[in-house]
């Protein structure tokens, strides 16, 4: 090991922490949480504004904060946290120092500076263009520059991840193949490279255009390439949070993948096909052929969906196997009933898994069906769907793992553990609410990114059905609840860091069980059946098929188009 690097072994978990990597994980994660707090607050204000009877923000502030919410919650919070995940999955899990920590710090600062620049531009009010910033609508040049700087920082961090993989291989700090979690993180990193490259291809010319050096940016071209970044960045999230599910299954249960081969193949499907789905956003655009739309929106025959459905079985399946091995063998579901529901690391992860699958996954595939998109595009169905993926899925998972990581990294005990127990539930219910109610309103045609549900200032007015207003009110209430849950999370995290009881360095009997010897030894799969998980998976499939065809039925009822 390099002479320069200091490191420690966590007495409680046995995890290896390189000094620099540890600091970077801390700073990235904490900075992410700060932006989550800001973004979440804006989210609540928006949910209250869309509540017809409450309608608290004026129009300009609504669009301004909507732009900031999208940027801060979707991009800044998540990518910062993902940097932490990448460093953890490489340096810590491979027991090697971080490659090029100075570069990693440069990446961190660029991300922070970029995020701040873009935020300032948005808050100044002349860049309320939404985070998608479709031309010919123009933002302040610094708006684009901030995003570019942020992306460059993220790219540097991603390369440090790759460098660390190389270093670990050279120094032989591990034997054989990468751990599955690291392989999942690698998937995320690969997608990140494509994401950021696409972003550069489109945002650099757009910046030049906003400065007046380029006369024209083709809106259709922009939208196509922009989504190669915008959607792929969501696929970074999916890969990252699925990896974290495996991580949590391992640290909470000592679970071992049912089969390395199957789980890795599922990630491989992600690497090959997941990014094609950027076409989800272009299904009702002029000029792109149905062939292009169908091939890309279906991830080449839904092979990435296959990957997700595999993870949907193997993550809970590995937990079931571990639990059965411990003796929770009664019936189909004793393993699940006897899981540590009071531990936010587990409860958050498991609710995230269920909601990502049932609410986010199913609706995403349906909305991404070429023709069905016609009855959903740009309605509130879209934000409803992605709050189930990126909030219930990614954000909740990252919250869950923070309950494990923050005490370990800062050597402090969790502050307000009683609240922490409930926090994941409050947040999950709130988020389930905003997802479902926005989708419900969207089914009734309510537009996304829209300030006035009553069209009061329109020359030709229109009334949404009464039920739509009811769903928007329920969305507002759920938004308050999600806001409460989100704020509790931030308070617990900040409190833990500042005021949590310092842990002694003596190994204590920790709440998060130290990884026991692997649950089953060689030849994993042959040993344990996971009937409970299989039944859950079949219920999932049944729901999926039913809801899928319900939507074809809805589609069949609209005007004929050809």
Partner 1 sequence: MTSQDNNTPDGEHEHIPFFQRMMDNPFLLLFIGVVMPTVFYILWGVMEIATIPIATY
Partner 2 sequence: MAIHPPETKIWWKEPIHSIEIWWVLIALVWSLIMFVMMPYWHIYGNQNLSNEAYRVDPEYFGEKVEDMVKKYTIREEGDTGIPVVAPPVGSDVFLLARLWEWYPILELKKGKEYRLHLSSMDWMHGFSLQPTNINLQVHPGYDFVVTVTPTESGKFAIICNEYCGIGHHTMAGRMYVTDK
> Does position 271 bind partner 1 by CB under 8 A?
yes
> Does position 395 bind ligand HEM by CB under 6 A?
yes
> Does position 74 bind ligand HEM by CB under 6 A?
yes
C-beta closer to ligand HEM: residue 181 or 388: 388
As a whole number of angstroms, the distance between CA 149 and CA 484 comes to 32
Supply the minimum distance, in Å, between the C-beta of residue 274 and ligand HEM: 18
Q: Which of 27, 35, 43, 93 binds ligand HEM (CB under 6 A)?
A: 43
> Does position 391 bind ligand HEM by CB under 6 A?
yes
State the binding partner of 224 from partner 2, ligand HEM, partner 1, none, CB within 5 to 8 A by kind.
partner 1
Supply the minimum distance, in Å, between the C-beta of residue 90 and partner 1: 10
> Does position 371 bind partner 2 by CB under 8 A?
yes
Residues 508-527: x where in contact with partner 2 by CB under 8 A, - otherwise, as a string: -------x--x--xxxxxx-
> Does position 178 bind partner 1 by CB under 8 A?
yes
Residues 134-173 that bind partner 1 (CB under 8 A): 162, 165
Cβ-contact 20, 101 below 8 angstroms? yes
As a whole number of angstroms, the distance between CA 307 and CA 210 comes to 40
Question: Bridge partners of 7?
Answer: 18
Binding window for ligand HEM (CB under 6 A); candidates: 70-78, 93-101, 220-228, 497-505: 70-78
Binding window for partner 1 (CB under 8 A); candidates: 48-56, 106-114, 185-193, 473-481: 185-193
> Does position 209 bind partner 1 by CB under 8 A?
no
Question: Bridge partners of 9?
Answer: 16
Residues 314-343: x where in contact with partner 2 by CB under 8 A, - otherwise, as a string: x--xx-------------------------
Residues 382-441 that bind partner 2 (CB under 8 A): none
Q: Nearest Cα to 300, choosing from 340, 272, 262, 334?
A: 272
As a whole number of angstroms, the distance between CA 441 and CA 465 comes to 9
What's the distance, CA 193 to chain centroid?
17
Q: Which of 123, 125, 177, 543 binds partner 1 (CB under 8 A)?
A: 177
Q: Which of 257, 383, 407, 442 binds ligand HEM (CB under 6 A)?
A: 383
> Does position 215 bind partner 2 by CB under 8 A?
no
Cβ-contact 154, 79 below 8 angstroms? yes
Residue 466 tokens read as 């009464």
Cβ-contact 390, 355 below 8 angstroms? no
Long-range contacts of residues 524-529, Cβ cutoff 8 Å, at least 24 apart: 524/256, 524/257, 524/258, 524/259, 524/260, 525/258, 525/259, 527/321, 528/321, 528/324, 528/325
Residues 217-246: x where in contact with partner 2 by CB under 8 A, - otherwise, as a string: -xxx--x----------------------x
HEC letters along 266-319: HHHHHHHHHHHHHHHHHCCCCCCCHHHHHHHHCHHHHHHHHHHHHHHHHHHHHH
Residues 429-458 that bind ligand HEM (CB under 6 A): 434, 448-450
Among the residues of 125-218, which ranges form H helices? 141-170, 180-211
Binding window for ligand HEM (CB under 6 A); candidates: 45-53, 161-169, 359-367, 513-521: 45-53
Supply the minimum distance, in Å, between the C-beta of residue 201 and partner 1: 8
Closest-by-Cβ residue to ligand HEM is: 43
Q: Which of 357, 483, 500, 532 binds ligand HEM (CB under 6 A)?
A: 483
> Does position 254 bind ligand HEM by CB under 6 A?
no
Q: Quick one: CA dihedral 415, 416, 420, 426, positive or negative?
A: negative
> Does position 310 bind ligand HEM by CB under 6 A?
no
Residues 40-99 that bind partner 2 (CB under 8 A): 59-60, 63, 93
Long-range contacts of residues 50-54, Cβ cutoff 8 Å, at least 24 apart: 50/450, 50/453, 50/472, 50/475, 50/476, 51/472, 51/473, 51/475, 51/476, 52/453, 52/454, 52/469, 52/472, 52/473, 53/469, 53/473, 54/473, 54/476
Coil/strand/helix, residue 332:
coil
Helices 101-124 and 141-170, axial angle in degrees (round to 10): 160
C-beta closer to ligand HEM: residue 73 or 89: 73
> Does position 559 bind partner 2 by CB under 8 A?
yes
Binding positions for ligand HEM, rule: CB under 6 A: 39-40, 43-44, 46-47, 50, 66, 69-70, 73-74, 78, 130-131, 383, 387, 390-391, 395, 434, 448-450, 479, 482-483, 486
């Amino acid at each position: 090991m390099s002479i320069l690097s200091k490191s420690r072994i966590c007495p409680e978990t046995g995890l290896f922490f390189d000094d620099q990597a540890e600091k970077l994980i801390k700073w990235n994660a904490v900075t992410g949480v700060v932006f989550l707090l800001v973004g979440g607050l804006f989210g609540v204000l928006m949910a209250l504004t869309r509540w017809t009877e409450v309608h608290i923000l004026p129009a300009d502030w609504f669009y301004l904060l909507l732009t900031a919410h999208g940027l801060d919650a979707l991009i800044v919070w998540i990518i910062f946290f993902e940097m932490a995940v990448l460093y953890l999955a490489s340096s810590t899990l491979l027991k090697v120092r971080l490659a090029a920590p100075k570069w990693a710090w440069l990446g961190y600062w660029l991300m922070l500076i970029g995020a701040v620049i873009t935020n300032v531009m948005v808050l100044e009010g002349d860049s309320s263009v939404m985070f998608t910033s479709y031309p010919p609508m123009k933002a302040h040049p610094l708006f684009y520059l901030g995003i570019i700087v942020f992306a460059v920082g993220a790219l540097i961090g991603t390369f440090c991840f790759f460098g660390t993989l190389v270093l670990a291989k050279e120094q032989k700090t591990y034997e054989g193949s990468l751990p599955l979690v690291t392989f999942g993180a690698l998937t995320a990193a690969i997608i990140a490279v494509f994401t950021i490259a696409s972003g550069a291809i489109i945002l650099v010319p757009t910046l030049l255009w906003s400065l007046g050096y380029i006369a024209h940016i083709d809106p259709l071209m922009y939208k196509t390439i922009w989504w190669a970044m915008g959607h792929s960045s969501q696929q970074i999230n999916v890969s990252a949070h699925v990896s974290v599910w495996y991580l949590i299954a391992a640290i909470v249960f000592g679970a071992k993948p049912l089969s390395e081969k199957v789980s890795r193949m599922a990630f491989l499907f992600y690497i090959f096909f997941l990014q094609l789905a950027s076409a989800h956003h272009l299904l009702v655009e002029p000029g792109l052929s149905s062939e292009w739309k169908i091939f890309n929106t279906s991830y080449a025959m839904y092979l990435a969906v296959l990957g997700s459905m595999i993870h949907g079985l193997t993550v809970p399946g590995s937990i079931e196997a571990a639990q059965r091995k411990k003796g929770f063998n009664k019936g189909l579901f004793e393993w699940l009933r006897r899981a540590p529901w009071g531990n936010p690391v587990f409860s958050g992860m498991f609710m995230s898994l269920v909601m990502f699958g049932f609410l986010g996954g199913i609706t995403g595939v349906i909305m991404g069906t070429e023709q069905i998109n016609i009855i959903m595009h740009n309605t509130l169905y879209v934000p409803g769907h992605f709050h189930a993926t990126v909030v219930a899925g990614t954000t909740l998972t990252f919250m869950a793992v923070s309950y494990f990581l923050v005490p370990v990294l800062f050597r402090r005990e969790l502050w307000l553990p009683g609240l922490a127990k409930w926090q994941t539930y409050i947040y999950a219910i709130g988020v389930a609410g905003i997802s479902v109610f926005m989708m419900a309103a969207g089914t009734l045609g309510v537009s996304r990114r829209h300030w006035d549900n009553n069209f009061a200032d329109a020359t030709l007015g229109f009334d949404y059905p009464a039920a739509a207003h009811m769903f928007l009110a329920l969305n507002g209430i759920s938004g308050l609840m999600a806001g409460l849950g989100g704020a509790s999370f931030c308070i617990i995290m900040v409190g833990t860091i500042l005021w949590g009881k310092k842990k002694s360095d003596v190994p204590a009997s920790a709440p998060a069980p130290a990884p026991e010897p692997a649950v089953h030894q060689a030849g994993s799969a042959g040993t344990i059946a996971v009937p409970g998980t299989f039944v859950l998976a079949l219920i999932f499939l049944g729901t999926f098929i039913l809801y899928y065809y319900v939507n074809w039925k809805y589609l069949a009822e609209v005007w004929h188009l050809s």
